[in-house]
Amino acid sequence: MDEYFIIKSLHEAAKWGNLDKIKTLLSNNLSLKQRIDNPDDNGWTALMFAAKNNHGDVIEFLLENGAEPLLINQAGETAEDIAGQYKNLEICIAIRTCNKSKAKNDSINFFSHEPLQRCAERRNDKEWLECTMKTSDAKFILYNNLQPLVKENNDKTISIYRLLYSDVEDFIACGALVILLGSEKLIEENETGNNIWFGVNISHIGCGDLTTRFSGCKWLSKALPKQLMLVATDATIIGQGRSIFCWHRYNRFCSICGSSTRFKEAGYKLICSNEHCESHNGVHNVSYPRVDPVVIMLVISSDHNYCLLGRKIGFPDRMWSCLAGFMEPGETIDDAVKREVYEESGVIIDSVRYLSSQPWPFPSSLMIGCIAVAATRPDNTNLKIDRKELEDARWFTKEQANMALFPRHYKFVSDRIILPPSQAIAHKIIKNWLRIKPNL
């Protein structure tokens, strides 16, 4: 059947509540699931037709099969808006529930998928570490100048080039630094068959060309687009190792007395070689890996209909994102959000809500994602933009944000803005704002 007629049939079946027809269409056209949201000339999707005509079973089926409830038609209405206009309250509840569940899934950010069990209790257990490294459970990632060894998959995604002890034994014998990254699950006593991950830094010993030794391997470029091609679970493991090795690199000398440092606790502590150094007494933040907290916030208007976005100097054309900035000592998260927003845009914030956080291993930031409600009206003429930080800042409507989040769906809109990709927490915060009315 012609593509136009397949979509038209889907829309007709959704309109009339013919669930059997929809199921038949999907089973006869396997790729239709990817186009389940294809709109008609007015931007109406199958979900919208079912919402208007109060077909709860069709709504449930479409949502289960990936229909996106955030999409809007050319009048700017979502399926939930349409259900509301026709007083189809059960449909509204079903869509809202779906949005909540999608928002919950979205709170797992890139670089934080299925993080490893850190096994901190094993870090001082030299015997266990040496033994485990030599078993087939041990998996190693090589790092050279903070670049991990990876391979490209057929679908263009990038994975860790998983190595065994026999692959890295000679590097370790030459003095490569080994850190314990963790276990894929909790380690029971004498348990086997559980991957235990180690990072191996060979930056200071050199390695020559590894491509003949490890077929298809390459060093992952530091450029961000490449990093975002990583398989999500691998990105988390790679990011953890990268931050630790970067911390080693920048702390080769004690920041209190200037003597050289060496690492302990499987890579998680640096100690000063000068036994009289003050750092040996008490807890000092020169001894433990640093994490740099960054607040990143979507500022929204008090009616929740507008958001404030900024353009950093050097952003690609039409690209906008959430405001963000490093926290300062002595600040709460709320204080940092309020200060950064005021400094960069002149907007005063009334209330702040934390959403989720994202480790960002370049080198070791922790992005703290928040939604912040402005105390003043969304007025572009009142913004006081810090031109040293931002090229521009501006208020945008929900519709503009929506069209930027689903660019393939709104191909007909030519002046769309561009938002950061789905791996960035800014993307998730903006989507969360559209999915759930913030309780602020």
Name the segment binding Zn ion (CB under 5 A); options: 52-60, 111-119, 186-194, 279-287: 279-287
Binding-residue total with Zn ion (CB under 5 A) = 8
Separate counts of helices (H) and strands (E) for the chain = 13, 14
**Smallest separation (angstroms) from Zn ion to the CB of 275:** 9
Report d(CA 153, CA 216) in Å as an integer: 10
**Smallest separation (angstroms) from Zn ion to the CB of 126:** 24
**Smallest separation (angstroms) from Zn ion to the CB of 292:** 22
**Smallest separation (angstroms) from Zn ion to the CB of 408:** 55
Nearer to Zn ion, 203 or 259 (CB): 259
Half-sphere exposure for 141 (CA within 13 Å, toward CB): 31
Nearer to Zn ion, 15 or 284 (CB): 284
**Smallest separation (angstroms) from Zn ion to the CB of 250:** 15
Nearer to Zn ion, 3 or 278 (CB): 278
> 230-269: which residues touch Zn ion (CB under 5 A)?
254, 256-257, 259
Collapsing DSSP to helix, strand or coil, 84 comes out as: helix
Q: What is the DSSP string of 355-378?
A: EEEEEETTTTEEEEEEEEEESS--
Question: Is residue 277 a contact residue for Zn ion (CB under 5 A)?
Answer: yes
**Smallest separation (angstroms) from Zn ion to the CB of 257:** 3
- List CB contacts of 339: < 8 A, sequence separation 6 or more: 325, 328, 331
Which amino acid, one-letter code, is at 436?
A: I
Residues facing residue 179 across a β-bridge:
199
What would the 3-class secondary structure string for 216-279 be? CEEECCCCHHHHCCECHHHHHHHHHHHHHHHHHHHCCECCCCCCEEEEEHHHCEEEECCCCCHH
Residues 102, 96 contacting (CB under 8 angstroms) = no
> 186-205: which residues touch Zn ion (CB under 5 A)?
none
Nearer to Zn ion, 257 or 333 (CB): 257
Nearer to Zn ion, 274 or 351 (CB): 274
Each residue 25-44 as x (binds Zn ion by CB under 5 A) or -, in order, gives: --------------------
Question: Is residue 272 a contact residue for Zn ion (CB under 5 A)?
Answer: yes
Name the segment binding Zn ion (CB under 5 A); options: 17-25, 186-194, 275-283, 362-370: 275-283
Nearer to Zn ion, 275 or 317 (CB): 275
Report d(CA 291, CA 300) in Å as an integer: 28
Nearer to Zn ion, 280 or 377 (CB): 280
Name the segment binding Zn ion (CB under 5 A); options: 276-284, 325-333, 405-413, 425-433: 276-284
- List CB contacts of 411: < 8 A, sequence separation 6 or more: none
Collapsing DSSP to helix, strand or coil, 149 comes out as: strand
Question: Is residue 270 a contact residue for Zn ion (CB under 5 A)?
Answer: no
Residues 339, 323 contacting (CB under 8 angstroms) = no
Binding stretches for Zn ion (CB under 5 A): 254, 256-257, 259, 272, 274, 277, 279
